[in-house]
């Protein structure tokens, strides 16, 4: 199998699986509602938790969205490593398409979420050191301002910067992988455009582990 054929299969499968949305699925199953019509109308963990409360289902939504991307990324990375010695590329490539599927899902009329959780799953397979740095930044920013949108975007933009530093330090710079990481980070930021407007208008909700 040529690498381009493998990329096509990975792109399609990652996009379709990435389009399965935990918040939409469980809002229909448990509450017989569409989360996209509630709260901020974003079908993601944060809005699900705000609308329906901090119960076990909200955390299942988070695990579902992280897990679906992790499956796509791991299987693709493993295949690309065994056949083309391109683990990082396979992981970054599948991750981007899983994120696109989450943002623009075929299953739900192309109206999806913001892909941060799918991206969070991806970075651990691309480079765990980048993931550790981004995760640390995420929690520092979240603890400081309690805005999930600001934390998500800051952590996402940290990834290509951290990866570039790691690659240059080890003299293993791979433009393809870095560009995939950059595009993925920018996708998360662009998807949070409405949150930036709310921040500007002082109407953005703060994140809390305790309350709706």
Q: What is the reported pLDDT for 209?
A: 74
Tens-place pLDDT, residues 110-158? 999 999 999 999 999 999 999 999 999 999 999 999 999 999 999 999 9
Q: What is the reported pLDDT for 117?
A: 96
Residue 211 has pLDDT above 70, yes or no: no
Query: What tokens were used for 93?
Result: 């490539």
What would the mean pLDDT of 30-40 be, rounded to a whole number?
93
Q: What is the reported pLDDT for 126?
A: 98
Residue 164 has pLDDT above 90, yes or no: yes
> What is the 8-class DSSP label of residue 44?
S
163 or 54, which is more confident? Answer: 163
CB atoms within 10 A of CB 46: 23
Give the Cα separation of 20 and 23 in Å (integer).
9
Tokens 């192309």 locate to 110
Tens-place pLDDT, residues 54-94? 889 999 999 999 999 999 999 999 999 999 999 999 999 99
Give the Cα separation of 72 and 11 in Å (integer).
9
Q: What is the reported pLDDT for 212?
A: 56
CB atoms within 10 A of CB 192: 22
């Amino acid at each position: 199998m040529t690498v381009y054929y493998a990329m096509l299969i990975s792109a399609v499968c990652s996009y379709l699986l990435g389009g399965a949305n935990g918040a939409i699925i469980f809002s229909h199953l448990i509450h017989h509602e569409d989360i996209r019509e509630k709260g901020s109308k974003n079908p993601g963990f944060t809005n699900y938790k705000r609308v329906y409360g901090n119960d076990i289902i909200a955390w299942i939504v988070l695990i579902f969205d992280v897990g679906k991307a992790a499956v796509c990324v791991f299987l693709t990375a493993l295949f690309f490593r065994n056949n083309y010695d391109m683990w990082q590329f396979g992981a970054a490539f599948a991750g981007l398409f899983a994120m696109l599927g989450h943002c623009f899902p075929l299953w739900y009329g192309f109206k999806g979420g913001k892909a941060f959780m799918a991206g969070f799953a991806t970075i651990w397979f691309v480079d765990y050191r980048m993931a550790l740095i981004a995760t640390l930044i995420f929690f520092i920013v979240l603890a400081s301002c309690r805005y999930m949108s600001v934390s998500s975007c800051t952590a996402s933009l940290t990834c290509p910067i951290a990866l570039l530093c790691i690659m240059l330090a080890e003299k293993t710079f791979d433009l393809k992988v870095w560009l995939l990481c950059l595009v993925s980070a920018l996708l998360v930021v662009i998807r949070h455009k409405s949150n930036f407007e709310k921040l500007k208008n002082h109407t953005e909700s703060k994140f809390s582990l305790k309350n709706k």
